[in-house]
Amino acid sequence: MPIDLRSRRTAIELLTDPELVEKELVVAGWAEHIRVIGRLVFIVLRDRTSRIQLVVRKNLSQEAWKLARKLSVESAIAAKGVLKENDEAPGRRELVVHELIILSDAEPLPIDIREPEKTILAKRLDYRYLDLRNDKIRLIFKIQADIAGIYRETLRDKGFTEIFTPKILGAASEGGAEVFTIIYFKREAFLAQSPQLYKQLGVISGLERVFEIGPVFRAEQHHTPRHLTEYTSMDYEMGFISDFNQVMDVTEAFLKNATKKIIDKYGDLLGKYYPDALLEPVKEIPRMPLKEVQEILRREYGKEYPPGEDLDTEGERLLGEFLEKEYGYKAVFITKYPWGPRPFYTMPCICTENPGEECCRGLKPDTPTCSFDLIFRGLEVTTGGQRQHNYECLLKQVENKGVNPETLSWYIEMFKYGAPPHGGAGTGLERVVKQILGLKNIREARLLPRDPERLTP
């Protein structure tokens, strides 16, 4: 009778249970290591949970022994046998096999999965399905899944509703040229740069507090270790706020929660596999206006920024190093970014100080806005702020940015019908993972990354 995987298979991590010793069990996984010694074959079997040693004896099952002798490394197999205690075996348990089947033979591997550092990242990504058979690499995506779960937990605890917004749009959500154009039934359409406009719809609709975890697309011709053309964005939007500090409060709660829970759960493995990993949770996040930050960078490093200019990559890195060295801060909110580099829906600070339809006339590139970036270990991982909710002001801001209001008519129309003060933020999941683990390249934090060159697998 063939081995019944559906009803009998036991996860290897459960084999530490003393109640299972001397019981007949079925296990399945990949043959990680094979050692043939005369009438014995030892196989280290790995599944998603752990490893166990299989012992195949010729005198117990000649058929299983013959199969085991010709087995290739990383073949998928299943085995039936009796669990025995053995102090010399890994995990002090081994399965003495009396039935073995080869589910799928493995050819010689094209990459080294035991020591991934010996293979360049590009080739590892070509064979990602093999690369992930390494514990160190697989850990990245266990942590990534947990971070997404912590984000959901944090937002739900604060009364947010998860929504799922379109990724095929009739107009670019944030303007600019960094959008992917597609053909949609003989019409031009775009892949979403963010769920921003639809999050605001969720707030105005009466849901008030909404969030989403989903893909976003940026047609950026970047070849850097911090950019992807497709990534996962964790976004939220909240209504009836008093100011943009309330928005930062939510992001701060998430990052503190995420770093603590990940370190509590994976601390030993982080230190084992990733020498640059974060080993202490984020406890305090200061909030500093951009002008103050730029003054620090000018004073400490001689970096000069013209009025209205954003921080560059080097500035973010230097600021992270300075704040951690001088004050022990792992993260910082940079606030009051200038109008020039911010999207059309951003709330200028002048509108909160002196609201009315005249407040948005003649906005200059260096006009401060109620917006922020979160810099985590020297890398921007979150952008957010308060949004413009006044209909007349929004029209002026759209005009100021040179956006065609007709392409956003459905969006602008919403603000005629009681839009509350609101704000939100978007956080790059891969960037958070990269910074927690101290990875050198963000492509390592994406299961199947997309960049200007890579479109497969």
Structure tokens at 436: 């927690």
pLDDT of residue 176: 61
Is there a contact between 349 and 304 (Cβ–Cβ < 8 Å)?
A: no
In a domain, 453, yes or no: no
Q: Are residues 134 and 73 in the same domain?
A: no
- CATH code at 161? 3.30.930.10
Helix (H) and strand (E) counts in the chain = 13, 16
Q: Are residues 47 and 157 in the same domain?
A: no
Q: Are residues 96 and 137 in the same domain?
A: no
Q: 292: part of which helix (H) or strand (E)?
A: helix 290-301
pLDDT of residue 171: 80
State the DSSP string of 329-353. -SEEEEE--BSTTS-TTBPBHHHHH
In a domain, 290, yes or no: yes
DSSP β-ladder status, 51-57 and 93-104 = parallel
- CATH code at 66? 2.40.50.140
Q: Are residues 58 and 159 in the same domain?
A: no
Q: Are residues 174 and 252 in the same domain?
A: yes
Domain end point (choices 104, 137, 168): 104
In a domain, 122, yes or no: no
Amino acid at 360: C
Q: Are residues 370 and 429 in the same domain?
A: yes
In a domain, 118, yes or no: no
DSSP state of 176: S
pLDDT of residue 247: 98
Q: 429: part of which helix (H) or strand (E)?
A: helix 429-437
Q: 104: part of which helix (H) or strand (E)?
A: strand 93-104
In a domain, 119, yes or no: no
Q: Are residues 89 and 133 in the same domain?
A: no
pLDDT of residue 174: 66
Domain end point (choices 69, 89, 104): 104
* Residue span of the structural domain in which 284 resides: 129-445
**What residue has token string 């639809």?**
198
Q: Are residues 137 and 65 in the same domain?
A: no
pLDDT of residue 47: 96
pLDDT of residue 2: 67
CB atoms within 10 A of CB 152: 15
Structure tokens at 306: 């013209």
Q: What is the number of domains present in the chain?
A: 2
In a domain, 120, yes or no: no
The stretches in the chain having pLDDT less than 70 are: 1-2, 5-7, 173-177, 355-357
**What residue has token string 């004050």?**
327
In a domain, 286, yes or no: yes
Q: Are residues 133 and 100 in the same domain?
A: no
Q: Are residues 95 and 183 in the same domain?
A: no
Q: Are residues 44 and 87 in the same domain?
A: yes
Structure tokens at 169: 């749009």
**Helices assigned H by DSSP within 134-244:** 135-157, 196-202
Domain end point (choices 88, 104, 120): 104
Q: d(Cα 145, Cα 396) in Å, to the nearest integer?
A: 41
In a domain, 305, yes or no: yes
Q: Are residues 139 and 65 in the same domain?
A: no
